[in-house]
Amino acid sequence: MALRRQLRLGVSYLAATVCMHQDDRRAQKIEQDCIALGSPVMHAVSLDPSANVVGDAAQASVERIALGGHDHNDIRTEFHPHSRKCPQTTSFEDYGRAAVPLPSPIDDEPWKPFRSRLDFEVAEFAVQSALNNDQVNTLLSLFKRSQGAESVTLKSQAKIYDLLRSKANTLTNFEQEEISVLYKGKHETFNVHFKPLWEWTMDLLEDPLLALHWVWDAEKVSKFNGTEFVQMYYEPWAADGFWKAQSKIPPTANPLCYILYADKTKLSSFGTQKGYPVFARLANLPVDIRNGDGVGGSHLVGWLPIVPEDPKEKNKTSFANFKNVVWHESFLHLLKSIEQHSKYGFFFHCADGTKRWLFPMILILTADYEEQCVMALIRGKNGLCPCPICLVPDKELVDLSKTHPRRTSDQSEGIFEQAQGLRFLGDKEQLFKQLSLRPVKSAFWSISNTNVHHALSWDRLHAYHLEKSGDNRMDLIPSWKDLNHFSSIMNTSFTDGSKFEDISKVITFAVHNLLGNKQKTPAGYALLQCIRSYLVLDMYAALEVHTEETIAVGELAILRFEQSLKKYIMMVDAENLKDWNFPKIHTHKHLFEDIKEKGATRNDNTKPNEKLHGPIKYAYLLRTNKKNIASQILNVDQYTLVTKFVRAQIEHVQAFKQIQEEKEEDFDILENWRSTVLIAGHVILGSRNINSSLHSREESKDPAFTNFSKRLIKWLIANLIHQFNKVAASIKLDANDKIWEYCFLKVRYESTVNWREKMDYLRCSPSFHEKPRYDCIVVDTVRGPIFAQLVFVFNYKVEGEDYPIALIHPFDATLSGPHRQKDVDFGLFRVCAKPRTSCEFIFVRSIIRGALLVEDFERTGDLLVVDTVDTDMFLRLQQIASL
């Protein structure tokens, strides 16, 4: 494999040299054709990068542009001029609907060299469960004693890992090199472990399962708002940075963009043993793949050395510089394999059969602030200019209204070169100190078309969700899917970014009446205003798809956050005892700049990377002897990666066979499923409970069931006539008719953020985990959307037809008392419950989605809608409030 790739390298350089000097006449011809149509030379792909509209649709879109006609919500996609394609406009309904075709498997037995799939799956289980040698051998001995249609042929733990090593040789493995750095006249040596970045990249480029998912050209996607097209930002290739990157390389070439993440992590319980992993992703793959757990997701590609702390050297600038030199010398080994390719490109025959001229570059660097300072080679929070991205003075960090010059790699490298010509150390130090730079050569300067200061990204996790936020009232916040539930904050023993994020979403609803009196607790009131402005900003930061409009609103939210923060500071720190100029406040200045440059924040959030520390810690605890741990941990990671690749191929073979054979589902299984699950449009009813009569429901002491059968029959007859065109005389309903109760709902809905399908799981159960749970919903009515609570969900069969119905408690009563300023200041959306006896029936099809509502602890009957539960609810509630 190494020889083949070396030959490929030589051919690629020769071809690149020729192409760098060729005149692309075909591009000029297509450009002329596009101009003749009255359009700039651009190209387009849908929000689903795998869905390319071609043929008649493409021709129709060109005709529509030529005619200048656009419908509301039309999507226009324009590609970079180098792509040599004209713009394309697609209706919103047709946009991104095409599915990715499933390629033919290249190997029907991907588990080889294992004798059978069963053998591989045993090995896979052993690796993923972190079984030690004795445990694996015990497991194999148990299999040997068992009898069955299939038998495990593996004999020992050693045999398993022999086969895994054989399979691992088909993928890029880790290498180890020693670096030597001079400090105080002595050479200090360290070991760095890495996968050559380009070799690892080729593993993915050659993978046929990823072949149709790559996106190679920058694009600008816009949505027609009725007046004009407004640009959208979501994936990296739909943002400005990717566009600029493609403009810097030859017209027939494509950018290959890396997302790199590095961060120290504690491996042992007391933090005495640490690791320094480096993870890589490729920005050319869609976010669902890139941030997923599969073969196209994040991979461990490096393990950096950690310089031992020396109490004698603590706080010394020279020692800090030494540690930075070690970091960059180590990181350079990881980048070395793409250094020449970044300058001249590399011709590669991709898995889709197309030969491409690829220019690798680093588009995004994700890290916390401390790591960013190391990457940017600045002096940190105590420097004169503590931001790794711009030159903001250290005394102006809290002022978010000002814009300061951006740092550039050329500027930093120029300062470094200028310092080499100075004779005295004091002069050199003064030169570096002015811009808070360190006198160290950056590893990133070796990579063309890469500006380390622009690649560094605002990180939502470290900016918000790793900071600390009425305690017993947290238990009164209802449970919600994907939202951690807390019985108490103060006694929470384990907290991470997700838990802090969830606490911040609900804290205002738990304590607003304790701190919400402006006269009695003015500082508390100002704090809650500050929290609300932070939450609004966080929700805009979290949007999966941005437009120019949402970015403009988000930028205003930054200024409101700044104002509320300054107001709070004036109240609690009138004597300026605390310095509020710290870098994490200032980082918000770059939030929406980054979205324009790199797409939505989920592209550069460290959250998907930090969860990868878990497997590393388990590998350390369960699979190492706690000595020379790097090579042991990296071997475990390599074996895990092998099982992922094989598992993906096995699942692909299965899926392909099912399509080819057009195999129908087993009839008995399907009928059994249908007997307990009921589908009503976008709503699925499950967890079927008891079969009872209409009349029996009136035995409940709940006022909601008063005259249940009479009210239901009257309501249902009216709706059967008006909605289903039934003839009144033919409808035979009786109080003794039987109904089935359902305690679980799955509600599918289209997100208002990225227009993809989402799903809420809702409960309507008298006993869910030994507690009653009745979730709230948004209901579509003739008067517009309203909020309500599920009371009882059931199916009523009339003349052989199913009618899934829900009894709900509506929250659309007129609010008592005047509109409160507190609600405005804290962003509270208040609804009021009707009397319990006023519960109503609806068809479950009218449920739009679920909702989280919290009781107002000071006004009985009032409830508050939690709009921060997800980005869809955040935008949807704004629409509802405007009605």
The span from the CA of 9 to the CA of 2, in Å, is 10
Q: What is the mean pLDDT of residues 170-197?
A: 96
* 880 has a pLDDT exceeding 80: yes
Q: Beta strand pairing status for 355-366 and 346-349?
A: antiparallel
pLDDT of 31: 44
* Distant-in-sequence, close-in-space partners of 310: CB < 8 Å, separation ≥ 6: 319
In this predicted structure, what is the pLDDT of residue 468?
Answer: 39
Q: Mean pLDDT across the chain, nearest whole number? A: 84
* pLDDT at residue 722, as a whole number: 82
Mean pLDDT of the 304-319 span: 92
Instruction: List the structure tokens of 659.
Output: 């399509």
Residue 735 and residue 709: Cα distance in Å, rounded? 6
Tokens of 411: 């500027």
The tens digit of pLDDT for each residue in 707-721 reads 999 999 999 989 888
3-state secondary structure of 129: coil
Instruction: Please report, as a single letter, which amino acid is at residue 477.
Output: I
- pLDDT for the residue 51: 38
pLDDT, tens digit, 9 for 90 and up, residues 221-236 = 999 988 899 999 999 9
Backbone angles phi, psi at 759, to 5 degrees: -140, 130
Full DSSP string of 44-107 = ---SSTT----THHHHHHHHHHHHT---TT-EEEEE-GGG----EEE-GGGTT-PPPPPPPPS-
First to last CA, the chain: 64
The DSSP bridge partners found for residue 680 are: 683
Q: In what order do the strands lie in the sheet with 299-303?
A: 175-183, 186-194, 299-303, 277-282, 254-262, 355-366, 346-349
What integer is the mean pLDDT of 588-614?
A: 88
Instruction: Please report, rounded to a whole number, the percentage of residues in the chain having pLDDT higher than 70.
Output: 82
Q: Is the pLDDT of residue 3 over 50?
A: no
pLDDT, tens digit, 9 for 90 and up, residues 808-821: 999 988 776 666 88
**How much helix, strand and coil, in percent to the nearest 5, is found in the chain?**
45, 20, 35
pLDDT tens digits for range 343-386: 999 999 999 999 999 999 999 999 989 999 999 999 998 899 99
Distance CA 336, CA 748 (A): 48
**For the chain, what is the radius of gyration of the CA atoms?**
31
pLDDT-wise least confident of 430-434, 534-538, 647-651, 781-785: 647-651
Residue 736 DSSP symbol: T
Give the mean pLDDT of 749-761. Answer: 93
- Residue 882: the pLDDT is 85
Residue 823 near residue 863 (C-beta atoms within 8 A): no
Judge contact between 119 and 111, C-beta under 8 A. yes
More confidently predicted of 343 and 656: 343
CA distance 519 to 875: 32
Tens-digit pLDDT profile for residues 229-269: 999 999 999 999 999 999 999 999 999 999 999 999 999 87
In this predicted structure, the answer to whether residue 402 has a pLDDT above a threshold of 80 is: yes
Token output for 423:
């004779």
756/451: higher pLDDT:
451
| Reported confidence tier of residue 462, pLDDT bands at 50, 70, 90 | low
**Kind and range of the H or E run holding 536:** helix 522-542
- 736 falls in which pLDDT band (50, 70, 90)? confident
Within 10 angstroms of residue 673's Cβ, the number of other Cβ atoms is 11
- Read off the pLDDT of each residue in 656-670 and give the average, rounded to a whole number: 56
Asked whether residue 391 carries a pLDDT value surpassing 90, the answer given is yes
Residue 469 pLDDT? 39
What is the per-residue pLDDT for 44?
32
How far apart are alpha carbons 196 and 529 in whole angstroms?
Answer: 50
Task: Give the pLDDT confidence score for residue 4 in this predicted structure.
Answer: 47
Structure confidence by residue, pLDDT tens digits, 206-215: 999 999 999 9
Confidence band of 446 (pLDDT split at 50, 70, 90): very high
Average pLDDT over residues 613-619: 87
Could you tell me which of 511, 510, 509, 554 has the C-alpha nearest to residue 534? Answer: 554
Decide: 326 and 179 in contact? Cβ < 8 Å: yes
Answer for the pair 120, 646: CB distance below 8 angstroms, yes or no.
Answer: yes
Closest CA to 854 of 787, 760, 768: 787
Burial of 373: CB neighbours in 10 Å, binned 0-12, 13-18, 19+: buried
Domain boundaries, the chain: 102-170+631-652, 479-591, 668-882
325: Cβ contacts below 8 Å, ≥ 6 apart: 181, 440
DSSP type of residue 483: B
- What does the alpha-carbon distance between residue 192 and residue 189 come to, in Å, rounded to a whole number? 10
Closest by alpha carbon to 12, among 311, 346, 249?
Answer: 346
Global confidence as pTM:
0.83
CA–chain centroid gap for 548, Å, is 21
Helices (H) and strands (E) in the chain, counts: 27, 27
Mean pLDDT lowest among 125-139, 318-332, 613-627, 755-769: 125-139
Q: Is the pLDDT of residue 62 over 80?
A: no
Q: Is the pLDDT of residue 646 over 50?
A: yes
For position 321, what pLDDT does the model report?
Answer: 96
- pLDDT at position 24 is 46
SS (H, E, C) 579-621: CCCCHHHHHHHHHHHHHHHHCCHHHCCCHHHHCCHHHHHHHHH
H-type alpha helices, 452-521? 452-455, 460, 497-515
Q: How many CB atoms lie within 10 A of CB 102?
A: 14
Q: Is the pLDDT of residue 834 over 90?
A: yes
Q: Which has more confidence, 482 or 796?
A: 796
pLDDT at position 157: 85
Structure confidence at residue 341 (pLDDT): 98
Instruction: Pick 28 or 806 by higher pLDDT.
Output: 806
| Of 214, 293, 132, 153, nearest in space to 647 by CA | 293
Contacts of 568 (CB under 8 A, 6+ apart): 523, 526, 527, 529, 530
Looking at residue 298, its pLDDT comes to 93
- List C-alpha distances in Å: 511 to 62, 135, 472, 495: 56, 51, 10, 20
Cα-flanking dihedrals φ and ψ of residue 787, to 5°?
Answer: -100, 150
DSSP 222-265: EEE-SSSEEEEE-SGGGSHHHHHHHHTS-TT-EEEEEEEEE--E
Question: Beta partners for 456?
Answer: 365
pLDDT band at residue 785 using 50, 70 and 90 as cut-offs = very high
One-letter amino acid for residue 862 of the chain: D
DSSP tag of 173: -
Calculate mean pLDDT across residues 306-311.
Answer: 92
Which region among 291-295, 467-471, 552-556, 650-654 has the lowest average model confidence (pLDDT)? 467-471
Q: What's the pLDDT at 609?
A: 76
In this structure, the chain runs to a length of 883
- What's CA 695's distance to the chain center, in Å? 49
Out of 9-23, 143-157, 417-431, 563-577, pick the least confident.
9-23
**What is the C-alpha to C-alpha distance for residues 527 and 511, in angstroms, rounded to an integer?**
11
